[in-house]
Amino acid sequence: MKIHKHLVGTIIDALDEVFEQGQYADKVIQRNLKAQKQWGSRDRRFFAESIYEIVRWERLLAYLVDDNDFWKIWAAYWIRQGNELPDWDEVADVDVKQVQARLKDIPSFAIAQSIPDWMAARLEKELGPEYKETVRALNQPAEVFLRTNTLKTTPDALLKTLTEAGISATKVSADLPHALKLTERKNVFITQPFKDGLFEVQDAASQMIAPLLDVQPGHRVVDACAGAGGKSLHMASLMQNKGKIISLDIHEWKLQELKVRARRDGVDVIETRLIDTTKVIKRMYDSADRVLLDVPCSGIGVLRRNPDTKWKLSDEEIDRLHVLQYEILTSYAPMTKKGGKLVYATCSLLPSENEKQVERFLAEHGDNWTLIKQMHLRPEVEGYDGFYAALLQRK
């Protein structure tokens, strides 16, 4: 495969932005693709895939060349893909035989699977010996799932529309009636069906959270950590756009993005509110039929999708999140009416962020709450992102 040095140079600059400047890989990729209008689809795919895979395997690649220089790390990636190194000065002193020899002699599981030592230790402690299978699954590239916007179309009609737009997809399973999976990775955001609001890009695991709440048309629902609102939009379609969804977040820009998405999807039951003081929450006590708490978490369950998270995360950050999660659960839960339901959810696999938080909550507030069910979704089991959700009912 012929590669152009200027394209690899752009990859090197992008890696510097991710690792040295702490920027998020998906945003760096997006910005570069926007700037490089002259690139064809092959170059664009090559650029995006290279960044994601090098970020995913950075620790192993640095070990193979015994260096943290991004040109050499790229060279290790290129050799590992089974390619010949180009004759460039930047990679002239990379010893191909040494890289191949090191590939056969990797000193630890954490290096082989390219995760930090602290993360390997934490996963082993919390998940037990099967953590290795989990980590291997988290290193697979994520598949792309779509959620049909049932306010505008049906899964069958959407499949037909996508085919006409040159997008190949397939249905997923009976327990995910509105989900479609791309059979070939393509940029769906530039298609007419997306611009018409016929679907949202949403992982299959994420699509299993909103239905747990059993929202009904006419309900008053609070999505308390809404972000850009993927689950708010899902609930709006399940409610047939009847009732009221109050989507809260501490970031104004995320709520602005939600407004854009809601307009595109034909959703008008969502009201966004910025959490700028604790009064915003307290004013809504005892007011909601349903409350969704998709709390800030480590994101370990979505490492396939966001591989740079493992280099930005730390043990201390997870400990800080534990405090925040419990604070949100205890201070936001009273927004639920008596007899109403609440879902506590994370995209983490760690029991300390998941069932342990719910167990503590029930130990302290069990007089007022009942656990109805819990859901654990694991990348090595279902093949989707890792998610946890607990459905609670207020007595």
Same domain as 231, residue 373 = yes
Looking at residue 161, which CATH number applies to its domain? 3.30.70.1170
Spatial distance between the Cα atoms of 223 and 357, rounded to a whole number of angstroms:
19
Asked about 225 being catalytic, the answer comes back as: no
Q: What pLDDT does residue 148 have? A: 98
Rounded to the nearest integer, the mean pLDDT of the chain is 96
**Domain total in the chain:** 3
The residue segments making up the domain with residue 26 are 5-107
User: By three-state DSSP, how is residue 373 classified?
Assistant: strand
Give the tens place of pLDDT for each residue, 241-259: 999 999 999 999 999 999 9
Last residue of a domain, one of 201, 224, 242: 201
Same domain as 224, residue 285 = yes
> Which residue is listed with tokens 């104004």?
252
Reported as a pLDDT band with limits 50, 70 and 90, residue 186 is: confident
Last residue of a domain, one of 91, 107, 123: 107
Same domain as 92, residue 50 = yes
Q: What pLDDT does residue 187 have? A: 87
Give the tens place of pLDDT for each residue, 305-349: 999 999 999 999 999 999 999 999 999 999 999 999 999 999 999
39-48, 362-371, 381-390: least confidently modelled range: 39-48
Q: What pLDDT does residue 7 have? A: 95
User: By three-state DSSP, how is residue 298 classified?
Assistant: coil
- How far is C-alpha 31 from the geometric centre of its chain's CA atoms? 19
Reported as a pLDDT band with limits 50, 70 and 90, residue 129 is: very high
Reported as a pLDDT band with limits 50, 70 and 90, residue 304 is: very high
Last residue of a domain, one of 201, 219, 234: 201
Which residues on neighbouring strands pair with residue 217, listed in sequence order?
none
The residue-averaged pLDDT of 64-93 equals 96
Q: Nearest 10 degrees: CA dihedral of 64, 104, 305, 319?
A: -80
Question: How is residue 47 written in tokens?
Answer: 């650029």
The catalytic position among 144, 293, 347, 392 is: 347
Question: How is residue 43 written in tokens?
Answer: 């170059």
Percent of the chain clearing pLDDT 90 (strictly above): 96
Give the up-direction half-sphere exposure of residue 13: CA atoms within 13 A in the CB hemisphere: 11
Same domain as 229, residue 91 = no
Model confidence at 274: pLDDT above 80: yes
Q: What pLDDT does residue 2 have? A: 80
Spatial distance between the Cα atoms of 149 and 133, rounded to a whole number of angstroms:
34
Question: How is residue 132 written in tokens?
Answer: 């290795």
Reported as a pLDDT band with limits 50, 70 and 90, residue 185 is: confident
User: By three-state DSSP, how is residue 195 classified?
Assistant: helix
Give the up-direction half-sphere exposure of residue 28: CA atoms within 13 A in the CB hemisphere: 25
Asked if residue 73 is part of any domain, the answer here is: yes
Same domain as 163, residue 39 = no
User: How long a stretch of residues is the chain?
Assistant: 395
Asked if residue 246 is part of any domain, the answer here is: yes
Per-residue DSSP letters for 138-167?
HTSPPPPEEEE-TTT--HHHHHHHHHHTT-
Asked if residue 299 is part of any domain, the answer here is: yes
Model confidence at 1: pLDDT above 80: no
Same domain as 315, residue 285 = yes
Spatial distance between the Cα atoms of 272 and 255, rounded to a whole number of angstroms:
6
Give the tens place of pLDDT for each residue, 67-77: 999 999 999 99
Asked if residue 230 is part of any domain, the answer here is: yes
Asked if residue 139 is part of any domain, the answer here is: no
Spatial distance between the Cα atoms of 267 and 238, rounded to a whole number of angstroms:
11
Same domain as 310, residue 385 = yes
In this structure, how many other beta carbons lie within 10 angstroms of the beta carbon of residue 369?
Answer: 18
